[in-house]
Structure 1
Amino acid sequence: MSFIADKQTLDDLSLLGQFNPASVFSLFNQVKTRGAEKLLDEMFLHPLSDADSINNRSAMFRYFGDHPVDFPFNGRQLERMEAYLDEGNEGSYLLALWKIGKKKIAEVLVKDEAYQLEVSGIQSSLRVVSGCIALLRQLEKEGRDQDEPWREWGALVSEVARDPRLKGSPDDQHSMMEHVRFHHLLTGVYRRQLKALLTLIYQLDVYIAVATVAKSRRFSYATALPKEKNIMEAWGVRHPWLEKAVTNTLSFRGDNNVLFLTGANMAGKSTLMKSAGILLYLAHMGFPVAATEMRFSVLDGIYSSVNVPDDLNKGYSHFYAEVLRVKKVAEAVAGGQSLFIIFDELFKGTNVKDAYDATLAVTTAFAGFSNCFFIISTHIFEAGHALMEKESSIRFEFLPTVMKNHVPQYTYRLQRGITEDRQGMIIIENEGILDML
């Protein structure tokens, strides 16, 4: 079963987007090869769903953070090598001789470029093999344990490098017969190993790049626990794009599974909720997280409702779109899935009375699903007071506002309780809007 996160959630949290410089993907996309970028994209699209797989991937990143190495490969050489191996599959020396010989004759007679392209593929492949040998020596100096994460890649490198027939500088002026020999070895004898080697090189690129980002931004690695543990605890939580942000602690358990969040506009509620969602998503990928420490039980997925759009084509108002979003989440929760749910300003598209009643009823109902964790924010603090009287599984916290000379200041630090801060009119007056009118 794969981890669930629909398009609404991915958009709310700005998780994906190769061409979106503000996406979480862009934050980690410091890889040097297209193959690694494709692999990184796959990792973002498919978070992991069992604790062992998550912890094993985290261990890979952590290793390269503790043992930094330079990625010695040229992206264009790797692409040329990959294309070369895909084009050629000569199983015997005679077939290799026939193919290379035919292209050499065409070069001499009609100045065809196919032979030089073949030579370029051979040279690129030899350079990559040479780079693998150099990197393997660097890694072997760093560690001696047999369970180090690069050992599978190192075994393939050693298998290819041991063959004396592959010796020789790729920059040398080789004869046609030498090119035939290299072509036979690369596309016939070692084609399977070299294609597997390319895959592992792209993995190394991702591991090195992500570990470097984690170290530079002081991220940590979460510990994944089995689903039945039913907890999520994180300290020093911040948004991954904010390096000097105020941090907070988040904690959820089966008997304390709802965080009811209040605070004035601009107090930081949305940023905190997005930070929590990104934190949990990255943790399920096995990626470093923007927290000082985290441990969590594996969940089935995450849903958010932060920027729910109306739909003019279907005639949906903003409120009806909100209702449909809550319905979709309710169906998933009632279906027995273990989920992390974010609702930012429940039912803000309707009047205060209906919003109060709906927030009270929906929050009470969701609190009964102890296998799911919820963050629900609202401006309607009266609903919080009503919930406080009857629900023990709900934790009430707020982001405070401090007034200084009629100007609101925000601490961005969670406090226990429910706030009644309302600074909307003060902000409007400070901007001089009423004076303009």
Structure 2
Amino acid sequence: MSFIADKQTLEDMNLLGKYKQHSIFSLFNKVRTSGGEQLLTKMFQTPLIDPDAINTRSDTFKYFQSKQVTFPFSNEQFSAMENYLSGSSGTNYPVIFINLAKKKLLAIIVRDEEYPKVQVGLQQTITVLKQCKTFISQFEADNRHEHPFYNELLTVKNILNNPKLGWLTEEQNDSNQYSLKKAAKYDHVLRHKMQQALQTVIEIFYQLDVFITVANLAKEKEFSYAKAFPKETHYLTASALKHPNIPKAIANPVSLSQGSNMIFLTGANMAGKSTFMKAFGINIYLAHMGFPVAASHMEFSVKQGIYSSINVPDNLVMGYSHFYAEVLRVKKVAAEVSSGKDLVVIFDELFKGTNVKDAYDATLAVTAAFSEYRNCLFIISTHIIEAGEVLKRQSNIQSLYLPTIMNGIIPTYTYQLQPGISSDRHGMMIIENEGILKMLE
């Protein structure tokens, strides 16, 4: 079973997408190799639900952050080695020697490029493997019990110290090309005898690319690592939680539990409700990946997934109005919640596509019904503050708001959560400040 986050949720949070502007993936995608990028993509697509696996991955990031190392290779270097190792000149030394001899002869007679390509690929591969050996040697002194990546690095060390590669350290290659005899010998070892083992080395170095790069980003951004607990504990607490992709974002504390499993959020337009909810959802998602989070401290019980309803579009092709699209979204989430799944649910301004009376009745009824599922955590925002006055009587619903401070007739915003329900109604004031009515006189 894997962590659930559907297309709507991923788009609401802007989580995925290499080329999507300000996506969370692009924030972390500073890796140097294409294999590292593929691994990073997979991690983003498959958050974890096992607390031990989450904590182990977080510990690995923390370990490399403490080492303050830089991944020493470029994509070109690793691609050249992969391309070379994926080819073959034969399965045994005599065949390889004969094939390379033919290619060398063709290179001399008709300037065929195959033999020079083998020489270049061989040289590049030997250079990278020697550098790999040097790079991992800096971690050898670390105790295996304090070293979450110990087994992987030991695997690399054992492969590169294999007697079949005993010549690797001594080989200097001061000349432009290896002799035909050496080229055949090295090619046989690298592309036949040790090919699968060296592919393991490459894959582990792709992991190193991700772990080192993300760890360095966490240090630069002053992110921390969330601690995962079994789902039965049903709680989440975070200090100074903020949006990871907003410079100088305002931080807020969040605390939810089985006895207080819902935040009912109010505040004026532009007060920061949607940004806070996205920040919450993004950090929940990153925490389940075992990735660094934009908070000073965070602990959480693992959930099975997250659903949001923030930017629900209408569907003209299907003939759905905005309100009906909202209703269908709530219906989908209700089906998931009522099935018994442990979920995080984020609804921004429920039923804003209908009249005030229906919005009030629907918000009140749906919010109260959802809150009874104590195994789930909810944040629900609304402008229907009258519903909040009724819901605050329930002990498991926290009423929080984001305030507006008026400087004369100009509204300003603190983006800091406060207990209670907002009474701010500044819509007409903003319209008047913009001079819209005067334009229409």
TM-score of the pair, normalised by structure 1? 0.96
CA contact (8 A) 1:262 1:398 kept: yes
Match of 1:285 in 2: 289
Matched, 1:49 2:49: yes
Distance 1:376 1:150 in 2: 40
Name 1:427's counterpart in structure 2.
430
* Rounded Cα–Cα distance in structure 1 between residues aligned with 2:276 and 2:89: 54
Aligned-partner Cα distance in 2 for 1:175–1:245: 60
Report if the CA contact (8 A) 2:133-2:160 is conserved: no
Shift of 1:18: 0.4
Q: Match for 2:407 among 387, 404, 409?
A: 404
Unaligned runs of 5+ in 2: none
Name the aligned partner's letter for residue 138 of structure 1. Q
Contact persistence 1:69–1:139 (CA under 8 A) = no
Residue 90 of structure 1: CA displacement?
4.2
For 1:367 and 1:159, the matched residues in 2 are separated by 55
2:239 paired with 1:235: yes
Distance 1:227 1:339 in 2: 10
* Whole-Å separation in 2 of the counterparts to 1:98 and 1:49: 54
Say whether 1:317 aligns with 2:321.
yes
Specify the alignment match of 2:208 in structure 1: 204
Deviates more, 1:284-293 or 1:64-73: 64-73
SS in 1 for 2:293: coil
**Following the alignment from structure 1 to structure 2, what is the Cα–Cα distance between the partners of residues 146 and 251?**
33
Counterpart position of 1:156: 156
Distance 1:420-1:49 versus aligned 2 partners, 3 A rule: same
Q: Compute the displacement of 1:171 (Å).
A: 5.4
- 1:13-65 CA distances to partner (integer Å, 9 max, x unpaired)? 01011012300001111111111011101100110110011000001100011
Deviates more, 1:82-91 or 1:252-261: 82-91
Which deviates further from its counterpart, 272-281 or 392-401?
392-401
**Residue of structure 2 equivalent to 1:373:** 377
SS in 1 for 2:224: coil
How many angstroms apart in 2 are the aligned matches of 1:315 and 1:146? Answer: 60
Other-structure match for 1:338: 342
Alignment partners' CA distance in 1, 2:105 and 2:145: 49
**Kept in 1: contact 2:70–2:213 (CA 8 A):** no
Deviation for aligned residue 1:74: 2.5
Between stretches 115-124 and 269-278, larger displacement belongs to: 115-124
Aligned structure 1 segments of 4 or more residues deviating by more than 6 angstroms: none
Aligned to 1:22: 22
The 5-angstrom pairing of residues 33-432 of structure 1 reads: 33-88=33-88, 90-140=90-140, 143-145=142-144, 148-151=147-150, 152-161=152-161, 163-166=165-168, 167-170=170-173, 172=175, 173-389=177-393, 391-432=394-435
3-state DSSP class of the match of 2:198? Answer: helix
Amino acid at match of 1:409: T
Q: Deviations over 1:304-333 (max 9, x none)?
A: 100001111110000000000001100100
Deviation at 1:138, TM superposition (A): 2.6
Secondary structure of 2:189's counterpart equals helix
Alpha-carbon RMSD:
1.5
Kindly provide the amino acid, as one letter, of the partner of residue 344 in structure 1: D
Deviation for aligned residue 1:190? 1.3
Could you tell me the TM-score, scaled by structure 2's length? 0.96
The AA in structure 1 aligned to 2:438 is D
**1:146 CA displacement:** 5.6
How far apart are the structure 2 equivalents of 1:345 and 1:170?
67
Aligned-partner Cα distance in 2 for 1:355–1:402: 27
Q: CA deviation at 1:122?
A: 1.0
CA distance in 1, matches of 2:160, 2:249: 49
Report the CA distance between 1:386 and its aligned residue: 1.4
**Secondary structure in 1 aligned to 2:243?**
coil
In the aligned structure 2, how far is the partner of 1:271 from the partner of 1:58?
A: 25
Query: Do 2:103 and 2:114's aligned partners in 1 also have CA atoms closer than 8 Å?
Result: yes
CA distance in 2, matches of 1:159, 1:89: 22
Contact 2:227/2:299, CA 8 A, preserved across alignment: yes
Q: Deviations over 1:369-423 (max 9, x none)?
A: 011101000000000011123x221110000111111111111111111111111
CA distance in 2, matches of 1:89, 1:4: 46
SS at match of 2:307: strand
Equivalenced residues, count: 435
Structure 1: runs of 5+ lacking an equivalent: none
CA spacing shift, 1:404–1:227, aligned 2, 3 Å = same
SS at match of 1:246: coil
User: Which range moves more in the overlay, 36-45 or 117-126?
Assistant: 117-126
Maintained 8 Å contact 1:123/1:171: no
Query: 100-109 vs 329-338, which deviates more?
Result: 100-109
Please list the CA deviations of residues 66-107 of structure 1 after superposition, one character each: whole Å capped at 9, or x if unmatched.
111121112112101112212227442223223322322322
In structure 2, how many angstroms separate the alpha carbons of the residues matched to 1:179 and 1:417? 76
CA gap of 1:89–1:99, structure 2 versus 1, over 3 A, is closer
Judge conservation of contact 2:56–2:148 (CA < 8 Å) in 1: no
